[in-house]
Every structure is written in structure tokens, then in C-alpha cells.
Copies of this chain bind each other. A is one copy, B any other.
Amino acid sequence: MNKNTRKDKIIAVAAKLFKEKGYSAITMRDIADKMEIKAASLYNHIQSKQEILDTIIIQIAEQFTAKMQTIVESKETTYQKLRHIIELHIDITIENADALAALNNDWMHLEGNLAYFIQMRDAYENNFRSILNTGIANGEIVARDPEIILFSLLSTLRTLYLWYTKKGGVDAKKLKEDMPETLLNGIIR
């Protein structure tokens, strides 16, 4: 996916800056400064600031969409499916935390791709919801309001990027063991 072109470098640098202050607060000059070139030179590689944001967000959103489809269609138990969703979020967070920050915080600044993004996000949530509802129906999951369960899982998974980068050296393997325990089994003895 990353071809190591000049364009990819610009997008990576931009994503990192967007994570720190948000899309709107970062200027083309900020991005250029970090690249050690002039702002005008950026336009030799990208068409607009907007294009940078689109590339960052849509790429990740499509990854989530594709993987979630595989999980939903599998014949596993609800518990196993939930574990796979948690691992999916951990994997993408480790691979591209900066892009996840943009997806979470700057999606509303999409323009041409806004409707496409919202459609993917809604479909993802609906797939997640249907997994939970199946689990409640077959007794694997406690019979509580599925919206509260969905929200509390999603909010933790979506903000993993905040926490993962903060403590640089978190072990992915340990995270994949402890996170499902904490989210699914609770913390009270």
C-alpha cells in the first residue's frame, strides 16, 4: 500500500501533523516545513490539501470495511467474532495510528467522499450491532441494552490510537490478550 513515493511521504507527514492539531489547524506551510521544502512544491505531488485528507481516511475506512465483512460472514461464535474485531482495531492502530486519528477527528472535513465515508461507518456499526444481537439472542452475551454495549466497545477501540502512541512500547501480543479480557469479561472479581 505504501509505495514510498514522495506523495506517500507527504501524506504520512501530514497525518502526523493532523493528529497533533487537527486538519483545520494545519497549513500547507506546516506540512512543507516538516518536509523541508516550500509549500508550493507540495502541489507537484498532490492536488490539494483536501486530497491528502481523503487519501488518509478512505484508505483506512476501506480496510475496516473489508475485514469486518470477513468477520461477519465467518461461522465463529460471537465471542470469537468480538475477539477478531478487537484484534482488527489493534492491528490497524499499530500499523497506522496517525491515520486513525484523522479518521476519528477529521472525517467531517471530507467533502466529495463524505457520503461514502458515512456509509462505510454506518455499515460497520450495523455489522457490529448484528454480531452483538446474535450473541444476546443465543445467550452468549448478557441481555443488556445492545446500544450501550456497542458504544462502550467501539469508543474504546476507536480511541486506541490515543493510548498506543503515548506508551511507545506496548506489546501488541499482550494487548491482544488483555484487551478482550477487559472489554468482554469486565474487571470486577
Contacts and interface: CB of A to CB of B under 8 A. Distances in A.
Contacts of A162: 155
Q: Quick one: which of A108, A139, A163, A175 has the most chain B CB within 10 A?
A: A163
Interface string A127-170: 00000000000011110110111011001101110110001000
A1 B187 CA distance: 36
Interface string A97-130: 0000000011011000000000000000000000
A162 B139 CA distance: 29
Interface stretch (A46-54, A67-75, A176-184): A176-184
Contacts of A3: none
Copies of this chain, tallied across the complex? 2
6 contacts: A144-B182, A144-B187, A147-B167, A155-B155, A159-B159, A184-B188
B25 A187 contact: no
CB-CB nearest 8 A-B residue pairs: A186-B186, A24-B24, A24-B25, A155-B159, A185-B186, A152-B156, A155-B156, A151-B163
Given A140-B188, A144-B178, A152-B183, 10 more contacts: A22-B105, A105-B105, A139-B189, A141-B188, A144-B181, A148-B178, A155-B156, A155-B158, A158-B159, A184-B188
A101 to B, nearest CB: 11
A53 to B, nearest CB: 12
A85 B109 CA distance: 33
